[in-house]
Structure 1
Amino acid sequence: MNAIKNKISGYSQYFVIPIISALIVIVVTQEIFFSIKPLKDLELKYIDARFLNRGRKLVKKSADVVILGISQTDYDQIPNPMNTWPWPRSYFAKVVSHLKDAGVKAVGIDVLMANDDKYSPENDEVLMQAIRASKNVVVAGVLDINAEAQHQNGSYTITDHSYNYRNKFIAADSSIGIVQTGSDEDGIYRRYEPFVISDANKKVLPTFGFAVLNKYFGLKPDAIASIEGDYFVQYGRKIPRYDKSSMLINYYGPSGSFRYFNFTDVLDDEEFKTSDEIYYETDINSWDDPDVGLLKSGIFKNKIVLIGSTLPEDGDLYPVSYSLGIRKGDNLMWGVEIHANAIQNILWNDFLYKQSKLSEIIVIIVLSFLSFLLFSVFKINRRLNPIVSEIFNLALLSLLIFTTYILGLRLFNEDNYIMAFISPVAALVSGYFSTTVYYAMKILKQNAVIKGMFEHYVSKTLVGELLSNPDKLSLGGEKKEITTLFSDIEGFTSISENMEPEELVEFINGYLHIMTEIVLSNNGTLDKYLGDSLMAFWGAPIDVDDQELKACRTAVQMQKKIDELKNNWIKDTKQPIRARIGINSSEVVVGNIGGNERFDYTVMGDGVNLASRLEGANKLYGTSIMISESTYKKVAEYALVRVVDKIIVQGKTEPILVYELLGLKDDADSLDKYKLFDSYIKGHDEYMKRNFEEAKQHFQNSLNKIPDDKLSQIYLERCEEFLLTAPPPDWDGISRLETK
């Protein structure tokens, strides 16, 4: 009996010691128990390290936000005596009006204007009128913050707001945004609050970026984000909460990452004379010059424009997460740029997701157990002397900490996920000391089996091949003749707008499941899903006989299945479902593409790109299944087709002949459908012979049979053009596609 008790007691150490270790780490690292400032500061610095590791994201050309900076250049360009601050408000009115003319969707003026215009009261009225006329302007406001109660109830508390928030232009249309944002305890600006709350009268006000977005999305000026669990919800977006009152800003780079213009670039119209224009006696207006003016460029169309100071003496410069290096001052950013980053995050749904406390605690527990077991491997190995065992364990601890560090960087770079760093490292260190305790207590033998696994999605056929040939999972590739198929749903954007998220996901999952079954039933390899799109190929990893025919049969079966089910789907989609499919056969590279830890068995090359282009070209021609000439040559005796066009796709110089696959000869329904296109086929023959009058008649006959045949309509219009203006003698019927 004692022997049994001793055995149970011995094995219990495997659980008791890691649990105690995990509990200690949880108590020390979680703020619900203690707030240890050095540990908290380290965690915050690791957030900054992630930005430094990731580097700059190039967003200047693609971003929706443009900055008009008030810089020394502007002071130099404004002639005396107006070139001292504050400038006449009429300048801001002119800029607001210009931006409206340029099609800007929202304007945020990050400048406080509490007092009357020092030049003339009329200037204030002019700006008031410009703001009212534009209907898209937000002005900046500030509040007196009670520093001792800065985050009560999950928001700022305000000691007084009986004034106009230090901006008299709130009277224009009540569109004001509070520009104050909270810094962390180390003074770094990592967070952004959607709103602030007054403790005087409980009035809730949007912060500057959110007020600008209210204008952008056409909401009321005082629209406020709601709180649902771990998210702020507004603009159809779920914004992850970093703490009770704020989101984390996903900085795209250092200061200067957004497209930037000087204030006077927009101010300088035909009526305004800059200092340079006066001095050099020129009249080149940066705004409305007919040749080089910004207005003509269209660069502001549908953009958000933020106006703010970029002068050091204004003090609107703050330390942020993104840094160019480790020197002091490398992480400074203008306040207007902080707002720009937050706004762009929301527009792009490009948020940072903080690891939940529950997940963090689970990781602590798991790592406490895992590290305890790992370090025990060397501790219980009697063939190693204690010193060697300790060296191995220290090396392993260093490796695990480094791996945790790299994993945190990788999750941030690839998934915008902020994994806790201090707590897992503490769990690893605690695990190391726990094994020392375990070894001192002479608990002998523990075998730990570490089995690395990775997730990879492949077809059942490919799984069998890889199980038989594991070397297939090594990196590399080979050139093979492959037939590639791309398919997506026509008009999916409008369909998705008519469906609730849950309904949309359910529909897409069902649709892709059916399409995938068709691919696999024809010995195809499913490559990937891209939203509503599907990519598949034939010829790898196992050679497939008649791969081109199987791909074509797959496409025909897909369309037939959609026709069968569209009446069932229409109650959810509110419009008929149609799919566009592109197929091409060519020699491409096939193999495992990716890194050592994660890769995909896929195909790549110009031939794959062409299949994708053909799928997209269906939209231009109104066709459903477009195949290349190389595919058609392999299936000519089985396929029913009509010539679509001889095209040159974007980025290429050689023309290719493309066909619409109407069906297969062994299918009765396809034969009936094919007969309807006899007039089109005759018309195309005459068209290529330059007999445009005869071709026109055939295409008209085709439209009489099939009124919605866009391809017949296209050729009918081409014939009419060529009858008016004959093509040149060397005309070869080639069309160049200008879009992908």
Structure 2
Amino acid sequence: MRYANRLYWLAVGIPFALIVFFEIAAPHALAPLRDLVFDSYQRLSPRQWDADAPVRIIDIDDASLTRIGQWPWPRTRMAQLVDKLSAMGAAVVAFDIALAEGDRTSPDQILSLLPPSAARDAVARDIVDLPTNDAVFAAAIAGKPVVLGAIATASPLTITLPQKHGWVTAGDDPAQFVPRFASAVLPLPDFAAQASGIGMLNWLPDRDQTIRRVPVLLGVGGKLALGLAAEALRVAQGVDTVIVKSSNASGETAFGAATGVNAVKIGQFVIDTGSSGDVRVRFSAHEPRRFVPAWQILADEIKPDEIEGRIFFIGSSAAGLLDQRTTPIDATIPGVEVHAQLVEHIIAGGQLSRPDWALGAEAALAILSCVIFMVFLPRTPAIILGLLGAGVVAVLVGGSWYLFHQGGILVDPVVPSASGGVIYLAGLSCLYWQEQAQKRQVRSAFERFVAPAVVERLAGDPSRLVLGGENRTLTLMFCDLRSFTTLSEGMSAQELTRFMNDYLTPMTDLVLDHNGTVDKYMGDAIMAFWNAPLDDDKHAINAGRTALLMIDRLAELNQRWQAQASAQGRHFPIARFGIGLNTGECCVGNLGSTRRFDYSAIGDEVNVASRLEGATKYLGVDLLAAETTHDLAPDLPWIEVDLVRLKGKVQATRLFTLMGSEEEAARGDFAAYRLAHHEVLDAYRERRFEAVIDKANAARALAPLRLAGLYDVYSKRATALLLAPPPADWDGSTTMDDK
């Protein structure tokens, strides 16, 4: 048992230690699992697109490329877009495009591609006063609310990041928390100088290449920079100063630890961020009405009221431009839509947040669920604990969903649930293995002693078995062949082995078939008992019926053995045995040494049963049962045999034998025989010894042949007592000095 307990605690302790490690020491290792949970929440309850949201996308789609020409378009065309949008009152025009190189379609660039010739010189004179396409674009964005994109990079470029606004930081320096880049690919200097803002186009997808978080803040060359969406929001409001609150700022509890960025304030919007200055976006599904084809703007097919006051992001959904991204809701959306959805998300409010206490709460719940399963699994039925666990999981999932749906708070229910589930499965597997091992042990221990059906009952519920030893009321049987030496005389080893197997096999089967347990074989003797290892309310009755069937079976065996001997031309004496039955309290259990033991019974009542078997040869019967056995099976056809004081006993006990089966006892002649038999006993105990002889002869005539010897014993006793009368205090008992 101690080994089983150690094995169980080892089976659940190892995964528990791993769970504690991952929850406390390496919580981010479980982040992919948590992300899948939160993704499923977003798919089940996505943010609904608001048609009135002041955010749209100017889409350089396939239709626009077909109408206007392949990409890249001349900067003059882009300037036209800016002019038309500005003229219609766009709040911001933000480019999800890196304008870091000169326009190759500019007249001066085309001229440089022509070979020297007079015609080339003429063209050069004609375009000398024309502005370059880049100059046209720079002029177009000057003084307008235009935000250009830049790409932060790890390459060690020498740049100066234009500062379009001021910074105010509260608390720890945010630069230590945000994603840091050595440099950036910036728009052309003229563009950067004229733009109202410059925002970073970077986003940092997770390992599965899904965009869940978009950076609001980044570090570029040691300075802070805003992402494109945040910069567009700033320019739209005309904000000159961005405020960043980090750990240990006023009102931000961190207990002195530098835990990260808490929020970014841009004008009227306070953006709650993750510790790295990013925002987990609550996405809506891809919505085509969010997009305005670029060709419609250039063709003046859009009404001004659809433009006025809105933030516009210019980007492309064209498949050939390969700007496609994956979000928790959509497998592919244009990359520009991510920026637009972030602004929608910020303006709509209801941001997703992952509180600082979430990891601690999840770890506590995981450990608590593990401990509950570890402690109660060995003590509680698995089905009940499983139902309880399912209820706990339902509460965790329901609570997590409620927090997400109502407050946008992200608390993972899966890791705590899965942690408990791992412990449940590990513990259940161990207990199942132990149960199967216990069943195998029970089968191995008892398949030689009890019937297969009893073995399966024991294996099905080993708790009913006390192998360590217990006191139980048993009915015990000793059965021993008479004159075994005479029977075996002249047999070879093979013949003797075959004879013993022919004898012991059917006798054993009878014991097992009637719920008995074979304790041991002692040469030709069998020791068996009833009412262990399983309870048997009819143990005395079953033992008595088994004894009668064994007597009948021996008669059949004698006929077969004699027929075999006659066929071989040899004599075979009739085999007889004695059976002793006794009922009383014994110690039963696994007895033996540490290296070998058997399930056996010991105690004084065992000795009594053995002595009753030995007494059968002195009383002329093949079966003797103690009064205790008789009293527990009163419906069997008993007759009292004698009042005997066994060796080592002070008190005399009444002994009984069975006349025959219950069917035989129902016949009318049994009553006559029993009356005649009791007249013998009465005469004997009343000292009427002459009458004993006469009544014994009368009873012998009515008795079954196997009981005839009993009356010979009484006749001999009466004759002896006539010659030597017993003392005056004689109580009719006989003392057995032999075992």
TM-score tier by shorter-chain length is 0.3 to 0.5
Please give the TM-score of this superposition, normalised by the length of structure 2.
0.45
Please give the TM-score of this superposition, normalised by the length of structure 1.
0.45
